[in-house]
A and B are shown apart, each in its own frame.
Chain A
Amino acid sequence: MEAIDTGNLRDLPTDARLPGAVSARLEPVTQKGWMQASMFPEKCFREQTTTDLPRPIGKAMSFRVSGLVAPRVTRFVSEQEFEGVVAAVDEQSKSFFARLTDCSGGQPEEEAEIAFDEISPDDWSLIVPGAIFSWNIGRATESAGQVRRVSELRFRRFFRFSPSDIDSATKEAARMLSLLTAGNDEPASTAAVGK
């Protein structure tokens, strides 16, 4: 049982439009699967119920159990997922080239040219070399139960390489550089034979 401060919630009108997770109802709670809370002057106590009816205790404030996700949030089942990195942008043709990695693994990296039109205009400013995006193809189920095929391409808006990412990239770069340097150190005659 958890104590929460009702504070100004008590001043809300009884018909206030509140989110699913915190619907306040100043009336006996009768809905199935709701959390209930007894009102006290300063605090209320809420207890999570699992199923069946919570017992009404006078005027109570109810909270929908695990209804944290508002109905609008769509259930989306991804059938294929790629992570993409923008390699180059062609401003004239309004398209960009990207390297795509199939997140299910096992497939070689692919390259694709993608038109700006495929992207939400809000994300156009994010299309720069090095930008990372996800591309999901799958089925979305609306709250009404309608299922539709969806291709969702979304650019990452907050991404930072971690120190360990930078460290491993630095090491990899050093390794590649040493390979190149070692190649250049070969005697010219050997290099020529190699060709």
Chain B
Amino acid sequence: MRKITCAHSALGGSGQTRVSMSVRPKPETVGEETAIVLVGDLNPKIFHPAWFAMQGLIRSSEAEEAEVEIVHQDLASFSLEWVAIQVTRDRFAAITKSSAFRTHLRDLVAGTFTKLRHTPTRQLGINYTQRYRFSEKGEWHNFGHYLAPKSPWRSLLVSPGMRGIRIEGRRPDDRRGFVLVTAEPAEPDVAAIQVNDHFEAPQDAGAADGERTGYFVEIIEKDFETSLGRADKIISTLIARFTEQKEFNDGSH
């Protein structure tokens, strides 16, 4: 019989309550988010639902029913039932909460920046987040111990708990960028794991804006599914290895 330590609001904190359990339940997926982010020099005020409809990128009825929160020279934000668009002067983000709309998210962003191909862009992120609810507080803490063993913190902190962890890896392809995995507590008993597939513009800094944006559009069109597949594999493997693990380093010995 294994003993699991429960504690406060940080994943993997050590505390007062101890729960014994013999069966390891798998955490339940309670949400997901897919986002495409482009960083560059943007003009937020053009990102109005009416513009997207005029370009044929969304339905006219969607544009009419869009919940426009603000369209301003410094930021634009609106949402349809399936996607939210948010643009500041240096960042464009399109986000959907369901895998059912991933393809349409890709089409929307690729279409947008094909139309706006002269927009200067520098970086692209294809981000995938999954949220897991753990059946018991102890399991939630164990997940923190699993990702951030606590023995290095023994005698240094009282009840050390993981507030977040970021692990960066090199890209598995020959493009510039990195893969960044972030895990953090989202709410009690819930942890969010995000994979940020980050792409940098090609090294030839002299490339024209349109070429760089075209480069990112090509990645979105060509590598989007691969990127999300890789993200899904990273997250599901992390969870699978967690459920297989028998002992956790909570710093108690």
Report which A residues bind B (CB closer than 8 A).
4-5, 7-9, 12, 16-22, 50-52, 66, 68-70, 72-78, 81, 120-123, 134, 136, 138, 152, 154, 156-160, 162, 164
Q: Specify which of A52, A81, A123, A162 is in contact with B100 (CB 8 Å cutoff).
A: A81
- A73:B96 contact, CB within 8 angstroms: yes
Q: Specify which of A8, A152, A160 is in contact with B74 (CB 8 Å cutoff).
A: A8
Interface membership of chain B positions 83-127, coded 1 if the CB is closer than 8 angstroms to chain A and 0 otherwise = 110101110010111111101100110110010000000000000
- A18:B70 contact, CB within 8 angstroms: yes
Question: Assuming A22-B86, A157-B58, is B74 touching A134 (CB within 8 A)?
Answer: no
In the bound assembly, the distance between CA atoms of A9 and B79 in angstroms comes to 21
- B9:A78 contact, CB within 8 angstroms: no
In the bound assembly, the distance between CA atoms of A1 and B60 in angstroms comes to 39
**Which of chain A's residues has its CB closest to B164's CB?**
A50
A73: chain B residues within 8 A (beta carbon): 79-84, 95-97
Would you give the shortest CB distance from A103 to chain B, in whole angstroms?
Answer: 10
- B89:A8 contact, CB within 8 angstroms: no
B15-23, B61-69, B152-160, B173-181: which lies at the interface: B61-69
Would you give the shortest CB distance from B47 to chain A, in whole angstroms?
Answer: 12
A21: chain B residues within 8 A (beta carbon): 77, 86
Would you give the shortest CB distance from B202 to chain A, in whole angstroms?
Answer: 18
In the bound assembly, the distance between CA atoms of A136 and B102 in angstroms comes to 12
In the bound assembly, the distance between CA atoms of A138 and B98 in angstroms comes to 11
- A74:B81 contact, CB within 8 angstroms: yes
B221: chain A residues within 8 A (beta carbon): 160, 162
Q: Specify which of A51, A70, A75, A77 is in contact with B77 (CB 8 Å cutoff).
A: A70
- A69:B97 contact, CB within 8 angstroms: yes
Closest 3 pairs (CB-CB, A-B):
A158-B111, A19-B77, A122-B59
**Which of chain B's residues has its CB closest to A32's CB?**
B187
A19: chain B residues within 8 A (beta carbon): 69-70, 75, 77, 86
Q: Specify which of B88, B108, B185 is in contact with A158 (CB 8 Å cutoff).
A: B108
Would you give the shortest CB distance from A181 to chain B, in whole angstroms?
Answer: 33
7 of the cross-chain contacts (CB-CB < 8 Å) are: A68-B84, A69-B33, A69-B97, A78-B98, A122-B60, A136-B100, A157-B58
- A18:B69 contact, CB within 8 angstroms: yes
In the bound assembly, the distance between CA atoms of A138 and B31 in angstroms comes to 15
Taking A70-B84, A74-B98 as given, write out 9 further A-B residue pairs in contact, using a Cβ cutoff of 8 Å, ordered by the A residue number. A12-B72, A17-B69, A18-B70, A19-B75, A22-B77, A52-B9, A74-B82, A138-B100, A157-B104
- B100:A76 contact, CB within 8 angstroms: yes
A122: chain B residues within 8 A (beta carbon): 59-62
B97: chain A residues within 8 A (beta carbon): 69, 73-76
In the bound assembly, the distance between CA atoms of A50 and B107 in angstroms comes to 32
Question: Assuming A21-B77, A51-B9, A122-B61, is B185 touching A68 (CB within 8 A)?
Answer: no
- A68:B75 contact, CB within 8 angstroms: no
A76: chain B residues within 8 A (beta carbon): 82, 97-98, 100-101
